[in-house]
Structure 1
Amino acid sequence: MGILLRVLVAAGLAADAVVHWKFAPDMAYVEGGALGGDEVFRAQAVLAAAVAVLVLAVARRWSYALAFLVAASAAGAVVLYYYVDAGAIWPLPDMHEPVWYAEKTVSLAGEAVAALAALAAFLTARRTPTAEPRSESPARP
């Protein structure tokens, strides 16, 4: 089951990365904040792709936790900015977009699958064994 969860996390993050990279140029017009919308989208794409590769290479609880944070925060952002016009939240620009389209569905589905699979993998992954404390041996003369 571990490899299936790894592939689901990586595939979901890859879908997120592709959609964000594709739409980054369209977000250049977004105003407010210290960063441009295109920079935010490119950063999300690179981060999602890097974490996808990381999860495939290193199947550890910390890598699943990182994947969960990346995927869940992206899913939360897309839902938040669809329903709420929060304005610019420094350093983020005003990303409110009350329009839904197929690519946004692909991105959200990928983020949701990645977040849920990462959470499941985190909860089922073996904890790394801790070092056993040394027993006191009798003192030598």
Structure 2
Amino acid sequence: MGLLLRVLVFAGLAADAYIHWTFAPDMAFVGEGGAVTGDVLFRAQAVVAALAGLLVLAWARRWTYAIAFLVAASAFGAVILYYMVDLGTLGPIPDMYDPAWYAEKTISSIGEAVAALAAVAGMLTAGRGRTDGTPSEEGPVQRQRT
């Protein structure tokens, strides 16, 4: 179960990272002249998603799952929010309102949702059996032959 959760988190965040990195050049016009442009936000999201996915893949700990959850859930929330509501410019963040829905947005959203749900499951199961939060290195309990 642990390996499956790690792979789901990684795959979901990898899809998110790929889509954001690929679309970053198309977002350069968003927020021109402001503190942060859309391409910078998309590249930052891609890098953070990739790093969070690699963290979970390398170390399945509650804290790595928590980071992955924050990255995936915030990205999923942002894409849904900016699809439904035109918030305008929020401080240094440009107006990212995009009422269109297309295949790449679907792939990214599904990846984010899967990663967030798998990260929650990972947080609940990582380190079970030990009190210090690290996973148990022991295998299953062996029955003694009588």
Larger radius of gyration: 1
Task: Work out the CA distance in 2 between the residues paired with 1:122 and 1:59.
Answer: 9
Counterpart residue type for residue 83 of structure 1 = M
Alignment: residue pair count: 130
Give ranges in structure 2 of 5+ residues lacking alignment.
133-146
Q: Distance in 1 between matches of 2:91 and 2:2?
A: 39
- Partner residue in 2 for 1:48: 49
TM-score scaled by structure 2? 0.86
Q: TM-score, normalised by structure 1?
A: 0.89
Moved over 4 A (4+): none
Match in the other structure for 2:119:
118
**Structure 2 residue 103 is the aligned partner of structure 1 residue 98:** no
Unaligned runs of 5+ in 1: 131-141
- Identity among equivalent pairs (%): 68
Work out whether 1:70 is the aligned partner of 2:71: yes
**Whole-angstrom distance in 2 between the partners of 1:90 and 1:123:** 35
Structure 2 residue identity aligned to 1:18: Y
Aligned to 2:20: 20
Post-superposition offset of 1:129: 2.8
**What's the Cα RMSD here?**
1.2
Partner AA of 2:125 in structure 1: T
